[in-house]
Every structure is written in structure tokens, then in C-alpha cells.
Amino acid sequence: MFEATSINHHNDQVQLRYKIVFGVMLVILIIPVVAILFTLIAKGSHAMSWPFLFDDPKDGMTAGGIFPAIFGTIWLVVVSLLASVPLGVAAAIYLSEYAPDNLLTRLINLATINLAGVPSIVHALFGVGAFVVFFKFGTSILAASLTLAIMTLPVVIVSSWESLQSVPRAFREACWNMGATRWQTIWHVVLPNAFTGILTGVILQVSRAAGETAPIMFTGAAMFLPFLPNSVFDQTMALALHLFVVATQVPDVPESLPFGVALVLVGIVLLMNTVAIWIRMHLRGKKKW
């Protein structure tokens, strides 16, 4: 009895040490994020106003607002989502539900992993060659969004594949025993139960697509435009590129302006992520398992 108590006490001490170590690691990760947000709010809040959010840039982008850049960023993110999510989920369905374990499947997995590690500037050059030149989309929202879609596609594929794999196999077998086809099982059972995990990949894509500069700089984003885009074949301003320009290329910029642009960019990403997370939590609450 005494020996069992001693062992339990030792295990509790080990667990406490692990909790302390992981807690310290969590704090170390959170501190830089809090410091960045505090700096952006402290220095960028002075630029926040309705004209700043809804006016066009003026006086060589040293004054005025950033509405064209906000509008263009939303364009780029939405079009890239429309391009990458269906393709990424379809690829994940094939790899999870249909693909046998053979050379082709292993090559697809290897290509997905390699694509995730390619630098963004290489994706930019690919976007120029493929979408701007070969498909003749020109420097446009469509070319830039498709480049972002290719860049973020591995995240969608991997997160969707893991979500599909997390659905218990018993669900599939129950449908098959009832006479359902493989596709009916995927559409009516597997996908609805994996949807919350698929949203995780969408959230990660939104964050990366909104913050990338190099891919859109070469394929569709402009430093300054006196008009809003009317279609996906027009160029557009974007917050990430606008931040780079006002922070490094434009002289005599007020100190609060770049921080204000960065604060708006972070705010848009947080807003989009919050909506996606709320949807994911709402759907997760309806799960029966």
C-alpha cells in the first residue's frame, strides 16, 4: 500500500514538472504575439479614423485612406479560397477514400509536402509564367489569387485529409451495410463530420493569403490605383503590398501610417478567422461523437 502511494506521488510530481515546462513554453510563445499587438495598437491607433478606412490614398500615399487596399485584399482572399478549397478538398477525398497505397499516391504526397516548403517568391515566378503569360490572364486579381491558391493548397489538402481520416471507419461501414455507394457515404456522412477540421485549413489559408506580398506583387497587385477593380481581370491594391510601399518606398510618411495599415491588416485577418472559428465551433457542437 505504501509503495503504491509512493509511486502515485512520484507520478504526480512528474506530471507537475511537465505542466510547468509546457506552461513556460506557452508563455514564451504568447509574449511575442502580445508584444506585436501592443506595439501595433499603441502606434497605429493614432491613424485610425473613418476617413483612414474609407478614403483613397492622397498626396503620394502620405495621407488619405486605405480603402482600395482593404477592398483588394478581400478580393484576393475570397477568389483564392474559391480556387483552392474545392481543389484541395477533392484531392484530400481522393487520397483518403479512393487512392490505393502505390507509387502514384506516394508521389502525390511527396509533391504536396514539397509544395508546402517552396518559398513564396518561387510561387510568384510560377504565377507569372503560368497565369500571367501562359494562360494570358495578365497582371490581374485572377492571376494573383490563383498564385495564392497554389501556394496555400498544401495546407488545405493536409488539414482536409487529416479531418477525413478522423471520421470513424464504423460510420463508413454502417453506410455500406445499408447499401450506400462509396460516394454517397462520403457526401452524406464523411464530409459533414469532417467539415470542422476542413475549416481549420481554410483559417490557415486566410491568414497566409492576406499577408503575402511577393506572389501578388508580380501577378496582380499595384502600388497605387486611382480606381477600384470592376472584375477579376483588373489589378488591385492590397494591404500587404501597400504596407511594404509606405514603410520602405514613400518618403515623409507619418510614423503612425504604416502601423495603422498593419493594424488594419491584422484586424481583417482576425475577423475572418473569428467567423470561421465560430462556424467550426457551432458545427462541432452538433457532433454526436
pLDDT in tens, 211-239: 888 899 999 988 888 888 989 999 999 99
Q: Is residue 255 helix, strand or coil?
A: coil
The reply to whether 54 and 42 lie within a common domain is: no
The reply to whether 137 and 263 lie within a common domain is: yes
**Other beta carbons within 10 Å of 162:** 16
Residue 277, domain member (yes or no)? yes
As for how many domains the chain has, the answer is: 2
% of the chain beyond a pLDDT of 70:
94
The reply to whether 99 and 199 lie within a common domain is: yes
Residue 289, domain member (yes or no)? no
Q: What's this model's pTM, rounded to 2 decimal places?
A: 0.86
Give the side-chain half-sphere CA count within 13 A for 159. 20
Which residues constitute the domain of residue 38?
2-47
Asked if residues 165 and 137 have their Cβ atoms less than 8 Å apart, the reply is no
The reply to whether 134 and 259 lie within a common domain is: yes
The reply to whether 82 and 116 lie within a common domain is: yes
The reply to whether 20 and 95 lie within a common domain is: no
pLDDT in tens, 271-285: 887 887 787 777 766
* Least confident segment among 78-82, 85-89, 123-127, 277-281: 277-281
The reply to whether 15 and 133 lie within a common domain is: no
pLDDT in tens, 34-53: 998 899 999 988 889 999 99
Nearest to 93, CA basis, from 204, 220, 189: 189
The reply to whether 97 and 24 lie within a common domain is: no
CATH number at 245 reads: 1.10.3720.10
The reply to whether 141 and 278 lie within a common domain is: yes
The reply to whether 22 and 120 lie within a common domain is: no
